[in-house]
Amino acid sequence: MAILNVVYYGDPRLEKVSEPVGEVTQETRRFVKDMFETMYFTNGVGLSAPQVGVNERIIIVDCSGGSDRDQQVALINPVVVSSTGEQKGTEGCLSFPGLFADVTRPNVVKVKAVDLEGKEIELEGEGLLARALHHEIDHLDGILFIQRMKKADREAIVKKMKKQKFEKSAKDKVLV
């Protein structure tokens, strides 16, 4: 297993639409294991493949942050089939270390995807799980959380980002 390099805002791979995975292979499963290692290492609760520089439609989420392995979710080619309600909350992103802002997202999302055995599955998430799923699936379409913010927040963050170089991630916040 390996800790992968997380890429930061400004890297063009974060703003690309990622490619569907054709077939789930041993290599896919190995990559997903590395993604989990990387996410736990950086204290995230969600991670998408483009955030480690791979433009494939793969995401992982674990709202327990690694304390309850039953909460591990790994989705290949995930698609949001329905979203309802609304939640507002402070969000961060592993690709924007140290930056947090309020983002409104659906409160419940239903997702269709393929699991690590190549089987089609459906998953419903509420609250934090819905937020994390929505945030990660956005990554696969090159949509970053700054695009979901109020304009004033986005402008403040982009300004701050230009002055800053990112090496470390915050250790005590929700990062997805």
Please state the closest distance from residue 144 (CB atom) to Zn ion, in A: 7
Please state the closest distance from residue 22 (CB atom) to Zn ion, in A: 25
Please state the closest distance from residue 93 (CB atom) to Zn ion, in A: 3
Catalytically active residues, by annotation: 136
Please name the residue that has the structure tokens 């997805």. Answer: 176
Report the residue number, 76 or 137, with the smaller CB distance to Zn ion.
Answer: 137
Report the residue number, 39 or 114, with the smaller CB distance to Zn ion.
Answer: 39
Q: Which positions from 90 to 119 touch Zn ion by CB under 5 A, shown as an x/- string?
A: ---x--------------------------
In three-state secondary structure terms, 101 is strand
Q: Are 35 and 47 in contact (CB under 8 A)?
A: yes
How buried is 67 (Cβ within 10 angstroms: 0-12 exposed, 13-18 middle, 19+ buried)?
Answer: exposed
**Rounded to an integer, what distance in angstroms lies between the CA atom of residue 35 and that of residue 30?**
9
Return all residues near 145 (Cβ < 8 A) that are at least 6 apart: 91, 93, 96, 101, 103, 135, 138
Report the residue number, 93 or 111, with the smaller CB distance to Zn ion.
Answer: 93
Number of residue whose CB is nearest Zn ion: 93
Report the residue number, 23 or 168, with the smaller CB distance to Zn ion.
Answer: 168
Q: Total residues at the site for Zn ion (CB under 5 A)?
A: 1
Strand partners, 112: 79, 122
Which region, judged by CB under 5 A, interacts with Zn ion, from 30-38, 88-96, 117-125, 164-172?
Answer: 88-96
Q: Interface residues with Zn ion (CB under 5 A)?
A: 93
